[in-house]
Amino acid sequence: MMESRRRLVLMALILIAFGWRIWRLDFQSLWRDEVDAIFFAVRNLNETLSMFVQAAQNGPFYFLSLRPWFAIVGTSEYALRFPSAAAGTLSVPLVWQVGRRLLPTPGDARGSFWLSTALLGALFFAINPYQVWYGQEGKMYATVTCLALLSSWLWLRGIREGGWQTWLAYLAVVSIALYVHLLMVLLIPFHLAWFAVAWPVSRLHWRGYGAALAGLVLPYLPMVWWHWMLLTAPEKLSGFTFTSLPTMLSGLALSHVRGFITAVDLLWLAPVFFLFGAGLLVGVMAIADRPSAGRAALQPVRRHLMLLVWLALPILLIFVISLRQPVFTERYIIWIGPAAMFFMALGLRVLVDNSGRIAWPVALIFLIYVAGLWAELAWQQKEKIIKYDLRTAMQYVGARRSPAELLILQIPHQEWAYRYYTSDFGPNPFAGSDARLGWWVGGPYTNWERGDEAEREEVNRYLSNVTAGAGDVWVLLSESTMWDRRQLMDEWLAAHATLEEEKPFAGVTVRLYQMNASDP
């Protein structure tokens, strides 16, 4: 009877997670990186395959997996993001599977399922606004989380039960993860640390794990030389700026708690941090002893420490790497999120297990509050335009502009968004896009260290050349400070053209200029 109820509860939770991720899946416009994902997937196959051996190329397996999917269903925003929604949904039962092996709850054997750490962790994951956001984005981050969970579940199963099939599956999953995102190489030291913490229990199947580690040498070999080059280069090669450890920690904490709705008073987030803190400090009391392999048992304190390793080690490793070459951005280690939610689940369990009857209603209040808060934040993410509205802006220009009229894209890379959003979203939206794009140029890059006057001369030289013979000139501005912080292009156009129309969109501005006939 209990087994049937368990299955029903898990199925309901999976369906909730799926529905929450596909609802308004295509509401937000694609941002530049999502358009890139489509381009990398549908371009010449040899170019995508070459990413496996090219330095610093990220995600070839992810793009290859999209290719046959696009051939079947097209390249609409919904089609691009659906695999992420599916990966985010699949992660829910994986959170439960990892939780029941790593963090068994006292009374699990007697059927105490409803407030088990595994179920609470899965519930928190299903509704967490940060995970929901990336479950609705056409990039690899939901897939990364799914692969991290799957590899961790296989690791826990292999250490407890052994079996060559389990370790072969572990080898395959980690190998794939390395080429879905380059920083998934952190899975290797992460599981090695688990192996050390779980000793001596982990030694019972060390041969299988050792063989899997040896097997990982082969898929990692193409990365070795450029990883070494990146770490030993005297100059900065990455496109990131250095982030201090306190800033990393605060950014990660806020992102995982509130998602992308930043206008939230910290007081409203306090119950979430309280549960996390309780689980971190005293959550070991809510973990049961359970045999791990044969007659050996992995003590609660070691299980708690393994959870802490999952949360902290990837952050520390990225920080150490960033001392040499900055590589930190919060989404790169999104897969530590389930560990934080397990700590919250332990915090809730501590209330129930150690404070008497009064704790049951208190725990229920905390659970309802967190669920309500996260549901509200995720709902706002689906209702507010958060990403730059390239879709509406590009389609507005495409419907009114002749390809013979000059188009200036302040960030030249936005040409791919224009090509995409003026297409029919078929299997290859970039086919024939040269004709749709027509006459266009990139805006001048002015963020050099030269003085204003020297930069004005360069802008004048460039724009005088590229606008020669133009009448109507369309300008699309988005993230323009990345390209022209001093707005020198705007200054030049104000002096040499007449502004006919200006149309603002979320994060994007479209302008139509008429070049002055009197200018040479």
Domain assignment of residue 520, yes or no: no
Q: Quote the pTM value.
A: 0.94
Q: Closest by alpha carbon to 210, among 192, 190, 198, 185?
A: 192
Residues 292 and 426 in one domain: no
> Which of 76-90, 278-292, 450-464 has the lowest average pLDDT?
278-292
Q: Give the per-residue pLDDT at 291.
A: 56
Residues 426 and 301 in one domain: no
Residues 81 and 122 in one domain: yes
Going by pLDDT thresholds of 50, 70 and 90, the confidence category of residue 230 is confident
Q: What is the DSSP letter of 511?
A: E
Residue 439: which CATH number?
3.40.50
Mean pLDDT within 139-165? 95
Domain assignment of residue 150, yes or no: yes
Q: What average pLDDT does the chain have?
A: 91
Give per-residue burial for 232-253: e unless 16+ CB within 10 Å, then b: eeeeeebeeeebeeeebeeebb
Residues 6+ apart with CB under 8 A from 80: 30, 34, 37, 38, 66, 138
Q: Closest by alpha carbon to 440, among 396, 474, 407, 418?
A: 407
**Of 331, 362, 383, which residue constitutes the final position of a domain?**
383
Going by pLDDT thresholds of 50, 70 and 90, the confidence category of residue 240 is confident
* pLDDT greater than 70 at residue 179: yes
Q: Give the per-residue pLDDT at 110.
A: 44
Q: What is the DSSP letter of 508?
A: E
* pLDDT greater than 70 at residue 484: yes
Domain assignment of residue 321, yes or no: yes
Residues 378 and 448 in one domain: no
Residues 151 and 172 in one domain: yes
Alpha-carbon distance values, 392 to 36, 131, 167 (Å):
18, 26, 48
Residues 164 and 309 in one domain: yes
> Which of 260-269, 286-295, 431-440, 495-504 has the lowest average pLDDT?
286-295
Domain assignment of residue 172, yes or no: yes
Sole residue written with tokens 């200018």? 519
H, E, C per residue of 45-103: HHHHHHHHCCCCCCCHHHHHHHHHHHHHHCCCHHHHHHHHHHHHHHHHHHHHHHHHHHC
Domain range enclosing 103: 2-383
- Structural domain count, the chain: 2
Mean pLDDT within 94-119? 79
Residues 141 and 237 in one domain: yes
Q: What sign does the dihedral 38-44-47-51 (CA atoms) show?
A: positive
Residues 242 and 366 in one domain: yes
**Of 383, 418, 446, which residue constitutes the final position of a domain?**
383
Residues 100 and 47 in one domain: yes
* pLDDT greater than 70 at residue 298: yes
**Of 383, 414, 434, which residue constitutes the final position of a domain?**
383
